[in-house]
């Protein structure tokens, strides 16, 4: 996983609430067995509209998406995170995120920043008004700021932060606890009523 | 000892390690696998030279992509075909038991787990699928995960998890005739919104929940994720044990008694504290219909499409307007006047035997409206067989429904069962997102009874006013 430290990029404003993962990557693209190549299908249905934010030339090569509340709700498909990252997004800012998407994003090096609704609205407004509107994100300092005086602190779960900063593989981290796992499992195996098959 | 909630009891029995400043490592008892969210996980294992830690705790099936027509081995979509074949190969290579299309125990992953008795109270259960919350109906802690987590569970049989908060929703009193488990959960989502339970594990309690069958409880827990919940749970009781007893993978003999003794302790203690509580009166619930593009956009069938001007915020108003435009609906239109083109009876929310019985009862003696194409897709082969033994297939076929082979089908339209652009569907599934059932398709979520009634009349119809014909056929 690519480590995430700081990022400066043009912002794509997506002023919609409850953006679900079915929109981020529609089901017809879930049949592939690869992990890559989903970027071209990102927001496939919405992108049929030439005015859709992501289609606008001014947002080309943007790596920061700003959206309204409950971003990433619905299906657990990690393809949503793959599509965002494959398209080039490395950071999403919103007032809230759905749980499973939150975890999927982290595992793919995408930083999710939760900011209060008013601040997100301010970013959406500025990005809509100012051509080439940019944000600077620092995960090290947990800050977001622009060149017009906007500045905000965010906070993120310390462990998630550490993994993102270092670009760490989760399985490797878990295997540090292999002894505990072996011991636990031995005792747990005796609870036959928790075994799937009899 | 401190009083504990059901969730806390299950959580604590699965703590492998609690490293400082890191998420807890939670042991996973059952890992369910399907074709769509697993290929990249198996690939990851192969790349890292890892094995599957516990094949005996892993079960796979094919459901999302499979055709629901009789010849199921021929999949015309080459990419879907490849995905299914990839699962077959992966299961062989890694030693995972697979319920393949021809297998009599194949079905939607969340239908077969409980049906085969793989799902049990007190377990931790995960699957690369958000509706894993279904299994919480047994008092299991069951939640959906992404593909990286699928790989993690395959390799280690555990998952790093931060502890969710707890939320008890009690539904008290008696449900009115015609108000179903589906309406309970739609009513809840309508009240708290699609992010109302984000960050929480919900425990459903109260007399109306306790009086539900296992099928009904599964319907309620299934849609927990539509309120954003990490999981939904219901304490196991006599209804749970009666459902499980004798199932293929349920414990037998002395082991059964021991299991029941352990499962019986899985109740929230009287003094246990929840982070949040909510009480709903069963009598306030009605048969619901969604009007918009998420499950929180829902109103009683006797109501009218709401006016965006009444939305609580600017954001919500815009979302309302977008939804109405997508759904091609005008504010103020009576729900009962909305005509439907298609009816879909199926999905892991409502494709179990009881759902089919309830719908069959409604259509007995009637015929599907000439403007409607209606299909029934049982949740599993076993459900289908049981329904056929009871003659339900005949009732549906006589009434003009299509009777199909099990799978996810039009719940998400990954196979050829999809809506055409502009088509409007009364669906017993769980998501009415834009394009979910086919690009440009318009989905209204309802209970099986309401779907059946809409199929007959050609528009949404209050099931409470239904004239049942020939109930004796099913008695
Ligand atoms: S029936 Fe629908 S919701 Fe359930 S597992 Fe299949 S696709 Fe997902």
A1 within a domain of the structure (yes/no): no
A93 within a domain of the structure (yes/no): yes
The span from the CA of B202 to the CA of B168, in Å, is: 6
CATH number of the domain that residue A143 is part of: 3.20.19.10
B132 C-alpha to ligand 1 centroid (Å): 9
Burial tier of B302 (Cβ tally within 10 Å: 0-12, 13-18, 19+): middle
A28 within a domain of the structure (yes/no): yes
Asked if B124 and A184 count as a contact pair (C-beta separation under 8 A), the reply is: no
- C-alpha pair distances (Å), B202 with each of A162, A198, B205, B451: 30, 29, 9, 27
* Backbone conformation region of residue A164, classed left if phi is above 0, alpha if psi is from -120 to 50, else beta: alpha
* CA dihedral sign of residues A15, A17, A20, A21: positive
Taking the Cβ of residue A186 and every Cβ of chain B, the question of whether any pair is shorter than 8 Å is answered with no
Burial tier of B464 (Cβ tally within 10 Å: 0-12, 13-18, 19+): middle
The 3-state DSSP composition of chain A as helix, strand, coil percent (nearest 5) reads 40, 20, 40
Quickly tell me which residue has 């690009």 as its tokens: B439
Residues whose CB is less than 8 angstroms from the CB of residue B129 and which lie 6 or more positions away in sequence, other chains included: A76, B32, B34, B37, B109, B110, B144
Mean pLDDT of A144-171: 93
Q: Are residues A162 and A174 in the same domain?
A: no
CA B17 to chain centre: 31
**pLDDT for residue B287:** 98
Q: Are residues A78 and A26 in the same domain?
A: yes
A176 within a domain of the structure (yes/no): yes
The span from the CA of B355 to the CA of A31, in Å, is: 29
Q: Are residues A90 and A174 in the same domain?
A: no
DSSP code per residue over B270-325: TT---SEEEEEEGGG---EEE-SSSTTSEEETTSBPPPGGG-SSHHHHHHHHHHHH
Q: Which residue of B has its CA nearest to A67?
A: B315
The span from the CA of B464 to the CA of A42, in Å, is: 43
Taking the Cβ of residue A129 and every Cβ of chain B, the question of whether any pair is shorter than 8 Å is answered with no
A143 within a domain of the structure (yes/no): yes
Q: Are residues A94 and A180 in the same domain?
A: no
- Give nearest CA residue, ligand 1 atom 2: B411
> Does the predicted model carry a pTM greater than 0.80?
yes
B430 C-alpha to ligand 1 centroid (Å): 8
Dihedral in degrees, nearest 10, Cα atoms A143, A148, A149, A151: -20
Quickly tell me which residue has 């793959």 as its tokens: A82
Strands A134-138 and A143-145: antiparallel
Cβ-based neighbour number of residue B316 at 10 Å: 17
CA B395 to chain centre: 25
A101 within a domain of the structure (yes/no): yes
A133 within a domain of the structure (yes/no): yes
Q: Which parts of chain B sit beneath pLDDT 50?
A: 475
Taking the Cβ of residue A27 and every Cβ of chain B, the question of whether any pair is shorter than 8 Å is answered with yes
A interface test, pick of B315, B322, B414, B440 with most A CB neighbours within 10 Å: B315
* CA dihedral sign of residues B145, B151, B157, B159: negative
**pLDDT for residue A98:** 97
Query: Can you tell me whether residue B65 is helix, strand or coil?
Result: coil
The span from the CA of A3 to the CA of B116, in Å, is: 44
Q: Are residues A174 and A106 in the same domain?
A: no
Q: Token pair of B210, please? A: 């306790």
**pLDDT for residue B471:** 57
Cβ-based neighbour number of residue B361 at 10 Å: 22
Mean pLDDT of A168-182: 92
- C-alpha pair distances (Å), A150 with each of A118, A120, B140: 12, 11, 46
Query: Can you tell me whether residue A18 is helix, strand or coil?
Result: coil
Q: Which residue in A15, A74, A192 is closest to B433 by CB distance?
A: A74
Q: Are residues A112 and A175 in the same domain?
A: no
Taking the Cβ of residue A76 and every Cβ of chain B, the question of whether any pair is shorter than 8 Å is answered with yes
Q: Are residues A20 and A98 in the same domain?
A: yes
Q: Token pair of B161, please? A: 């998890």
Q: What is the ipTM of this complex?
A: 0.93
**pLDDT for residue B475:** 45
Structural domain tally of chain A?
2
DSSP run (H or E) holding B9: helix B6-12
Q: Are residues A150 and A64 in the same domain?
A: yes
The span from the CA of B146 to the CA of A30, in Å, is: 13
Q: Are residues A113 and A187 in the same domain?
A: no
- C-alpha pair distances (Å), B49 with each of B45, B155, B287, B300: 6, 10, 52, 54
Taking the Cβ of residue A136 and every Cβ of chain B, the question of whether any pair is shorter than 8 Å is answered with no
Write down the H helix ranges in chain A.
Answer: 21-24, 79-87, 99-107, 117-129, 158-166, 170-175, 178-189
DSSP run (H or E) holding B158: strand B158-161
B380 C-alpha to ligand 1 centroid (Å): 12
The span from the CA of A74 to the CA of A27, in Å, is: 12
Q: Which domain holds residue A48?
A: 6-167
A195 vs chain B: nearest CA distance in angstroms?
A: 7
Asked if B193 and B315 count as a contact pair (C-beta separation under 8 A), the reply is: no
Dihedral in degrees, nearest 10, Cα atoms A29, A33, A38, A40: -60
Q: Which residue in A16, A79, A194 is closest to B319 by CB distance?
A: A16
DSSP run (H or E) holding B266: none
Q: Are residues A94 and A163 in the same domain?
A: yes
pLDDT tens-digit series, residues B298-334:
999 999 999 999 988 888 899 999 999 999 999 999 9
Atom of ligand 1 nearest to the CA of B346: 1
B457 vs chain A: nearest CA distance in angstroms?
A: 31
SS3 letters across B84-150: HHHHHHHHHHHCCEEECCCCCCCECHHHHHHHCCCCCCCCEEEECCHHHHHHHHHCCEEEECCHHHH
Contact assignment for A98 to B43 by CB distance below 8 Å: no
Q: Which residue in B23, B64, B230 is closest to A159 by CB distance?
A: B23
Average pLDDT of chain A, as a whole number: 95
pLDDT tens-digit series, residues B190-215:
999 999 999 999 999 999 999 999 99
**B399-421 CB burial, b ≥16 within 10 A, e <16:** bbbbbbbbbbbbbbbbbebbbee
Q: Are residues A126 and A159 in the same domain?
A: yes
Quickly tell me which residue has 């108000």 as its tokens: B179
**Distinct helix (H) and strand (E) counts, chain B:** 15, 19
The span from the CA of A146 to the CA of B160, in Å, is: 35
DSSP run (H or E) holding B344: strand B342-345
Q: Are residues A149 and A191 in the same domain?
A: no
**B3-40 CB burial, b ≥16 within 10 A, e <16:** ebbbbbbbbebbbbbeeeebbbbbbbbbbbbbbbbbbb
Taking the Cβ of residue A128 and every Cβ of chain B, the question of whether any pair is shorter than 8 Å is answered with no
Q: Token pair of B254, please? A: 């002395």
Cβ-based neighbour number of residue A174 at 10 Å: 23
A144 vs chain B: nearest CA distance in angstroms?
A: 23
């Amino acid at each position: 996983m690519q480590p995430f430290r700081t990022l400066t990029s043009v912002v794509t404003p997506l002023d919609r609430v409850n953006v679900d993962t079915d929109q981020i990557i529609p089901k017809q693209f879930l049949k592939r067995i690869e992990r890559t190549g989903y970027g071209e299908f990102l927001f496939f249905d919405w992108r049929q509209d030439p005015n859709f934010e992501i289609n606008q030339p001014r947002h080309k090569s943007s790596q920061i998406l700003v959206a309204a509340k409950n971003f990433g709700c619905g299906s657990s498909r990690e393809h949503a995170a793959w599509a965002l990252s494959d398209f080039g997004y490395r950071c999403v800012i919103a007032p809230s995120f759905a749980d499973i998407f939150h975890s999927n994003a982290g595992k793919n090096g995408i930083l999710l920043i939760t900011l209060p609704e008013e601040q997100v609205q301010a970013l959406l407004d500025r990005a809509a008004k100012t051509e080439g509107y940019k944000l600077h994100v620092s995960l090290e300092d947990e800050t977001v700021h622009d060149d017009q005086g906007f500045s905000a602190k965010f906070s993120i779960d310390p462990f998630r932060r550490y993994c993102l900063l270092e670009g760490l593989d989760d399985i490797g981290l878990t295997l540090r606890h292999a002894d505990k796992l072996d011991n636990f499992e031995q005792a747990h195996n005796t609870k036959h009523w928790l075994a799937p098959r009899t | 000892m401190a009083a504990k909630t059901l969730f806390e009891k299950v959580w604590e029995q699965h703590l492998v390690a609690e490293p400082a400043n890191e998420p807890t490592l939670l042991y996973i008892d059952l890992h369910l696998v399907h074709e769509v969210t697993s290929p990249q996980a198996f690939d990851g294992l192969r790349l890292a030279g890892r094995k599957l830690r516990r094949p005996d705790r892993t079960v796979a099936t094919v459901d999302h992509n499979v055709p629901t027509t009789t010849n199921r081995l021929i999949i015309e979509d080459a990419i879907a075909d490849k995905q299914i074949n990839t699962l077959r190969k992966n299961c062989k290579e890694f030693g995972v038991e697979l319920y393949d299309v021809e297998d009599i125990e194949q079905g939607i992953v969340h239908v077969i787990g409980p049906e085969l008795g793989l799902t049990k109270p007190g377990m931790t259960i995960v699957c690369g699928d958000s509706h894993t919350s279904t299994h919480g109906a047994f008092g299991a802690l069951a939640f959906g995960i992404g593909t990286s987590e699928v790989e993690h569970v395959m390799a280690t049989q555990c998952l790093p998890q931060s502890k969710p908060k707890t939320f008890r929703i009690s539904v008290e009193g008696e449900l009115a005739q015609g108000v179903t488990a589906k309406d309970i959960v739609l009513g809840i989502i309508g009240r708290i919104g699609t992010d109302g339970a984000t960050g929480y594990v919900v425990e459903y309690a109260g007399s109306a929940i306790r009086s539900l069958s296992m099928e009904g409880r599964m319907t309620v827990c299934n849609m927990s994720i539509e309120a954003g919940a990490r999981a939904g749970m219901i304490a196991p009781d006599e209804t749970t044990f009666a459902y499980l007893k004798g199932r293929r993978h349920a414990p037998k003999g002395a082991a059964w008694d021991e299991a029941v003794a352990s499962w019986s302790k899985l109740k929230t203690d009287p003094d246990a504290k929840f982070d949040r509580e909510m009480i709903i009166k069963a009598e306030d619930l009605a048969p619901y219909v969604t009007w918009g593009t998420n499950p929180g956009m829902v109103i009683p069938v006797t109501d009218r499409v709401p006016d965006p001007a009444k939305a609580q915020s600017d954001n919500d108003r815009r979302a309302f307007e977008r939804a109405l435009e997508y759904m091609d609906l005008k504010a103020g239109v009576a729900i009962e006047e909305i005509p439907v083109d298609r009816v879909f009876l199926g999905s892991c929310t409502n494709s179990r035997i009881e759902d089919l019985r309830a719908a069959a009862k409604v259509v007995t003696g009637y015929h599907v409206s000439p403007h409607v194409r209606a299909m029934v897709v049982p949740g599993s082969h076993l459900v289908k067989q049981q329904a056929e033994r009871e003659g339900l297939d005949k009732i549906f076929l006589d009434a003009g429904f299509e009777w199909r082979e099990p799978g996810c089908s039009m719940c998400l339209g990954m196979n050829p069962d999809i809506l055409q652009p502009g088509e409007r569907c009364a669906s017993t599934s769980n998501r009415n997102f834009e394009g979910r059932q086919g690009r440009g398709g318009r989905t209204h979520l309802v209970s099986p009874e309401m779907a059946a009634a809409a199929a007959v009349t050609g528009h949404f119809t209050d099931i409470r006013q239904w004239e049942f014909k020939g109930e004796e056929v099913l008695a």
